[in-house]
Amino acid sequence: MLRKGVTESFGAAISSLNAAHLTETVVRRSKRMILDTLGVGLLGTTSGVFGKVLQYSKMYNASNTSTVWGKPDISLPPQYAAFVNGVAVHSMDFDDTWHPATHPSGAVLPALLALAESMHTRPSGLELLLAFNVGIEVQGRLMRFSKEAHNIPKRFHPPAVVGVMGSAAATAKLLGLERTQCREALAIAASYAGAPLANAATQTKPLHIGNATRRGLEASYLALLGLEGNKQVLDIESGFGAFYTDYSPDPLPPTSSYRWVLEDQDVAFKRFPAHLGMHWMADAAAAVRGRLLTRNVDFQQIEKIVLRVPNSRYINCPFPASEHEARHSFQFNACSALLDGRVSVESFSRCERDRAELKDLLAKVQVESPADNQPNFDTMYCDISVELQNGQSFTERCNRFYGHWKKPLSQEDLLKKFKANATTVLPLESVEGIIEAVDNLENIRDCSVLSTFLQVNEKTLFLNTTSC
């Protein structure tokens, strides 16, 4: 039967894609995404915003509960476990990033793990992998229906729009919903979508991921119960087209000749917890620092610092007043990398942000936006020039940082990042267990083994980001 529209084709693809469609590249890349997401999520459970949403979510009780990562004494209804774990993933802006711009994994994985724990028949690791990739795929396809989506966002935070659709698709797949129910899940999820960019650089931004993963799960539950929505929600301007002024959707190809977006487009893994644009700047600034040190330059001799970056207001923050603003500040990340040679988790602590020498450098920064430097994560660059009092000038430019989807982290460095993040919460035995489970995921009979490893036992470590 010929498919009648875009929404119908998405419902059919979600329902009919199976494990045989997964390729070696897709499995390898998605395992890296899963491992990285678990690591940044565990680290995120030490953040202040996680504590607040956990306190809120504990108000809700149910006989059917799921794991809160790193909290063995707390379980929540599946949708709230998905919510708080999703918030944890994005609490430090440390999660993976795709192009067109979104954070794909955090909107999907927490919902899938919470759902898997609550199901009478536990899904296998291969079923989890398939559902995860369906959720990633839906996000990738939707973003490619708009040229506007390829640029650094201006109006809304993309995970709050495409992320909830990915969560709905993934959980619908894991629940085994049939084609029309998958279509309804997408329609329901579309009415949960959206979050203004004004809340970027605040504690509320991580809620965008938490809400996306939770609401997508709720949409699938409601579709399972028979709730209906617009059957052309992905086809029409007043449907998903409401989010993009240039929305131009196409039906998905038949699954008999299906090729995953992840097959052709890898994801970016961040080396430090900040907005993706900061990684270009940090690499450029660290390179300038290296040149200054080889010439024994005293940093007090710096007269002016010029940053040449894409024009994007919400990541242009001259004097950040909080860790969240600092994560969205070209100026802060440039000066931190100049002083320290790198940017790290600790760079955003209060004592690091309050350093007198850092504030002195921030006061010397000027920002320019050259016409050739467009706000696009695939083509942008960051350029830094440091001018000394004696007239000397040192300039470095980063066209593509290490960790970008076109310059991916090695498996060794990805594992180092995961271990550094996960061991802030879990004992080493649990961390090694997660690595082994993810590496062997397609052969595991019960994917909820991951949730077992995500619980603290024997010890709890604390990451203090508020004191020196």
pLDDT in tens, 411-430: 999 999 999 999 999 999 99
Specify whether 21 is located in the same domain as 75: yes
Q: Which tens digit of pLDDT belongs to each residue from 36-70?
A: 999 999 999 999 999 988 988 888 888 888 999 99
Section 334-352 average pLDDT: 96
Does residue 163 surpass a pLDDT of 50? yes
Residue 61 has a pLDDT of 81
Residue 82 to residues 30, 67, 127, 211, 327, Cα–Cα distance (Å): 19, 9, 18, 9, 24
- Supply the pTM of this predicted model: 0.93
The end-to-end CA distance of the chain, in Å, is 65
Identify which has the larger pLDDT, 182 or 148: 182
In a domain, 75, yes or no: yes
In a domain, 442, yes or no: no
Res. 399 pLDDT band, cuts 50 70 90: very high
Section 270-280 average pLDDT: 96
Does residue 464 surpass a pLDDT of 70? no
Section 114-132 average pLDDT: 96
Neighbours of 4 (CB within 10 A): 12
CA 232, CA 5: separation in Å to the nearest integer?
7
Residue 314 belongs to a domain with what CATH number?
Answer: 3.30.1330.120
Does residue 319 surpass a pLDDT of 90? yes
Does residue 443 surpass a pLDDT of 90? yes
Domain count, the chain: 2
Residue 315 has a pLDDT of 85
Does residue 461 surpass a pLDDT of 60? no
Gyration radius (Cα) of the chain, Å: 22
Specify whether 163 is located in the same domain as 298: no
Residue 159 has a pLDDT of 94
Section 450-458 average pLDDT: 80
Residue 217 to residues 19, 112, 171, Cα–Cα distance (Å): 21, 8, 6
CB contact at 8 A, 338 and 284: no
In a domain, 434, yes or no: no
Section 69-97 average pLDDT: 95
Helix 6-16 vs helix 179-190: angle between axes, to the nearest 10 degrees? 120
Specify whether 254 is located in the same domain as 280: no
Residue 64 has a pLDDT of 84
CA 49, CA 119: separation in Å to the nearest integer?
29
Section 351-357 average pLDDT: 96
Residue 182 belongs to a domain with what CATH number?
Answer: 1.10.4100.10
What percent of the chain lies above the pLDDT cut of 90?
87
Tell me which residue range forms the domain holding 172: 6-269
In a domain, 445, yes or no: no
Among 269, 286, 317, the domain-final residue is 269
Among 373, 398, 423, the domain-final residue is 398
CA 463, CA 195: separation in Å to the nearest integer?
30
Residue 256 to residues 13, 131, 228, Cα–Cα distance (Å): 10, 18, 28
Among 212, 237, 269, the domain-final residue is 269
Stretch among 87-101, 180-194, 284-298, 453-467 having the lowest mean pLDDT: 453-467
Res. 313 pLDDT band, cuts 50 70 90: confident
In a domain, 44, yes or no: yes
Q: Which tens digit of pLDDT belongs to each residue from 195-231?
A: 998 999 999 999 999 999 999 999 999 999 999 999 9
Determine if residue 341 is left, alpha or beta; phi over 0 gives left, psi from -120 to 50 gives alpha, anything else beta. Answer: left
In a domain, 444, yes or no: no
Does residue 331 surpass a pLDDT of 70? yes
Tokens 């004592």 sit on residue? 351
Does residue 451 surpass a pLDDT of 80? yes
Tokens 């617009």 sit on residue? 230
Residue 312 has a pLDDT of 85
CA 279, CA 398: separation in Å to the nearest integer?
9
What lies within 8 Å, CB to CB, of 108 at 6+ separation is 132, 135, 136, 139, 163, 166, 167, 170, 213, 216
Res. 465 pLDDT band, cuts 50 70 90: very low
